[in-house]
Amino acid sequence: MAHHVSGLGISPTSMDPRSHITDLYVFQKPGDVSKTILAVDVNPTSPITDDAVDHESVYELGVDTDGDAVTDIAFRVRFSPVRDNGQTASVQLATGRDAAADLDAGDTILADAPVTFGSEPQVTADGGFRFFAGLRSDPFFADPVGATDKFQWTGKDFFADKNVFGIVLEVPNSALGPNPRVGVWARVLVPHDGRLVQGDRAGRPGIDNNFNQDDDDKRVWNQQEPSHDRERFLGKFTHVFEHAGHPADRAAALAESLLPDLLTYDYTSGEGFPNGRNLTDDVINMGIAQLSGGAVPHDGLRPHTDLLADFPYLGNPHQHG
């Protein structure tokens, strides 16, 4: 379910779980309507170690400001190698389409930010931005065992005791551009044949896993940008909705509503999914209801209770023996 099982092993550029995205969250900062929280979780097998993120990859949050599914603003996070039980990160901001397309363009807005290896979050702040990176409790909640058994729910949240590597950025809304309605997506650029290539991507929850039916589709999907989604995948997404019982015209309209795969967000609103995505949004049941036309009962699961009230909001990591 969601993005937790997509991408891995589909191609040489997606073999490393440290470069694999589990979920993307975008939401209005609680108590401050002038700020937005951007969070991308990676590495669904995150251990309580200092080796949960890849220092050779680039972790990027792209913002489309004008509705054409092309990145106009990019936040790029790079990590240092681990040295003496410590690691740092830098955050680069590139504005303008040309700069966003150039991996070496942009200004460093946060430098030498410590990565958190323990439970107590280490937060770096500068110029209206705040940043956190480190192991966290996975906020995603779902019953994938029940889902694969024809929605015979088990009542067990598979992710209740799982960890991820969380990358969380607090930004002024002004950094997302003057138009409050934007599209956000995340990608990981990984080293391959001497250059950086896109190895994984995420926008709305559950898209790749639930709509791409074979390895070839998953490989193409994860290595392309959202601007190509409709031309290459609209027919295939429509077929999924038709197979679920929707008439052709309704199936086409639903598929069009999901593509291009960007997490649409109006930063003047804290409403939650499909306006961005809060950590507590019940996205799996929403998606199943859309796909099934409301025929499948709720799985009975609820948001995790270990979320923090303040930045970085993701709960402390689970300590496994």
pLDDT tens readout for residues 262-297: 999 999 999 999 999 999 999 999 999 999 999 999
- DSSP string for 40-92: EEE-TT--SSS-SS-TTSEEEEEEESSSSSS-SEEEEEEEPPPBTTB-EEEEE
**Long-range own/partner contacts, residues 192-199 (CB < 8 A, 24 or more apart):** 192/12, 192/13, 196/57, 196/58, 196/103, 197/13, 197/223, 198/13, 198/222, 198/223, 198/224, 198/225, 199/7, 199/11, 199/13, 199/14, 199/19, 199/20, 199/57, 199/223
Pairing of strands 88-95, 107-114: antiparallel
pLDDT tens readout for residues 240-267: 999 999 999 999 999 999 999 999 999 9
Instruction: Please tell me which residue, 14 or 164, carries the higher pLDDT value.
Output: 164
- pLDDT above 80: residue 14: no
pLDDT tens readout for residues 205-241: 999 988 998 889 999 999 999 999 999 999 999 999 9
Q: pTM of this prediction?
A: 0.95
User: pLDDT band at 17, cuts 50/70/90?
Assistant: confident
Proportion of the chain above pLDDT 90, given as a percent: 84
Domain boundaries, the chain: 12-292
DSSP letter assigned to residue 118: S
Proportion of the chain above pLDDT 70, given as a percent: 93
